[in-house]
């Protein structure tokens, strides 16, 4: 199986041994992104709404490297530090998408000083 790494300076650099994205078998898989501003490397200030918006911009930047958008996303996995933040998260998340929405799994997770982390799987265009 051939794999192609995706890298952009428009999303945060990996903090470990992982790629921002990988293309394989007709799909682009992104890493889980938190709310870091790629220009400063600092976490955005604010609550889950502000953090979700930055995470979605980070994911969008990786998708864009292959000419994709959120319309190409088929699956999202969301980690929330507090599931009580779901409504605020979902309002912002939904503003980046169109129907039909991707399938999604949302779980509560222990996150290191962030409120939300998201990764997606997008289908490549023919």
**Is there a contact between 113 and 44 (Cβ–Cβ < 8 Å)?**
no
Number of domains, the chain? 1
How many of the other CB atoms lie within 10 Å of CB of 34? 22
> Rounded distance, CA 23 to CA 35, Å?
23
- Please give the model's pTM, rounded to 2 decimal places: 0.96
Give the 3-state secondary structure of residue 122: strand
How many of the other CB atoms lie within 10 Å of CB of 114? 20
pLDDT, tens digit (0-9, with 9 covering 90-100), for 53-108:
999 999 999 999 999 999 999 999 999 999 999 999 999 999 999 999 999 999 99
Based on the number of CB atoms within 10 Å of its own CB, is 75 exposed (0-12), middle (13-18) or buried (19 or more)? middle
> Rounded distance, CA 23 to CA 124, Å?
8
Its domain, for residue 114, covers 4-123
CATH number at residue 93: 3.30.1330.40
């Amino acid at each position: 199986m051939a794999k192609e790494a995706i890298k952009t300076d428009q999303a945060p650099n990996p903090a470990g041994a992982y790629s921002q994205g990988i293309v394989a078998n007709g799909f682009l898989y992104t890493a889980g992104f938190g709310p870091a501003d790629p220009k400063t490397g600092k976490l955005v200030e604010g609550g889950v709404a502000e953090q979700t918006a930055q995470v979605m911009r980070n994911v969008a930047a990786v998708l864009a490297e292959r000419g994709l958008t959120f319309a190409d996303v088929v699956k999202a996995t969301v980690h929330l530090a507090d599931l009580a933040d779901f409504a605020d998260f979902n309002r912002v998340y939904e503003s980046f998408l169109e129907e039909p929405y991707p399938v999604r799994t949302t779980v509560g997770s222990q996150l290191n000083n962030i409120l939300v982390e998201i990764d997606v799987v997008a289908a490549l265009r023919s």
